[in-house]
Homo-oligomer: A and B are copies of this chain.
Amino acid sequence: MSVRTPKTVISVDLTKSPRTQPVLHNRWHPDLPAVSSVQPGEVFRVECVDWTGGQIGNNDSADDVLNLNLSVCHYLSGPVKVEGAEPGDYLEVEILDVQPLHGHEWGYTGIFDVKNGGGFLHEHFPRAAKAVWDFEGIYASSRHIPGVRFPGLIHPGIIGTAPSQELLEKWNQREAALVAKDPNRVPALAYLPNDTGSFLGALESQPSVARAKGAEAARTIPPREHGGNCDIKNLSRGSKVWFPVYVPGANLSVGDLHFSQGDGEISVRKL
């Protein structure tokens, strides 16, 4: 009898550009085709790249944070189709474990430069900064922050189902109205659809379609009705979460894996 090793439904290659890997995408859109499928109840494994798609290096310079191209973030893995899921269902997802890819046991904390987004405390820490963390089993330590080591609550920052066209339009109208309240605000009150940097995975084989969809696809910054950028530190191994299903197959995507996080992401200036 064969070993029932959890099936890896999405594999990534960290040595290649994310833009060559159709299992990745960085926008939410109902027409993004699923790149893999699972049965209800099936145990499966998804590999992910970091949210920037490899823009941040394991080195001692924060220039990569300073110059980070935010228009391509966040790269997610998926969508994964769940056979039989239909709009109106709820999809139960249980996170069985989250582990770094073998040979890539590291991560980073970055503080954004005020010239590029800025962090929550940008008045006090205006310059880009970076700490690289080495993962040592359940612990992380950093050569950039001597004397500190802590166990993580490893979890996906972003996980969610695909929106329907109707829901996508609702998002776009809602967020456009929000931006209109204070159009010149820095940072903006919302990031509206923008094809610049957009990467729509399997749809990219049809460039004209991809560009048209990219112009209306939702950005990955906020959490929305479908889940999305949850950033919940306790959404870790052992958690169950229920997502509404808006499209046939549910089309689950996941990414932005965190080794650990506080109550929010204080190194990033959000709205």
List the interface of chain A (C-beta within 8 A of B).
1-6, 43, 58-60, 95-97, 99, 102-106, 134, 136-139, 151, 237-238, 263
Contact = CB atoms under 8 A, between A and B. Distances in A.
A100 to B, nearest CB: 9
A58 B1 contact: yes
B5 A104 contact: yes
A99 B99 contact: yes
A2 B106 CA distance: 11
B151 A3 contact: no
Nearest to A59: B1
Contacts of A96: 136-139
Given A5-B106, A96-B139, 16 more contacts: A1-B58, A1-B59, A3-B134, A4-B106, A5-B102, A5-B103, A6-B105, A6-B136, A43-B136, A43-B137, A96-B136, A97-B138, A102-B102, A138-B237, A151-B238, A263-B263
Contact of A105 (B3, B104, B136): B3
Q: Which A-B residue pairs are the 3 nearest by beta carbons?
A: A96-B137, A97-B137, A263-B263
Contacts of A43: 134, 136-137
A5 B139 contact: no
Copies, count: 4
A46 B155 CA distance: 26
A3 B104 contact: yes
16 contacts: A3-B104, A4-B105, A5-B102, A5-B103, A43-B134, A43-B137, A95-B137, A96-B136, A96-B138, A96-B139, A97-B138, A99-B99, A102-B102, A137-B237, A138-B237, A263-B263
A105 B44 CA distance: 12
Contacts of A3: 58, 103-106, 134
Nearest to A43: B136
A193 to B, nearest CB: 27
B137 A4 contact: no
Nearest to A100: B5
A139 to B, nearest CB: 6
Contacts of A104: 3, 5
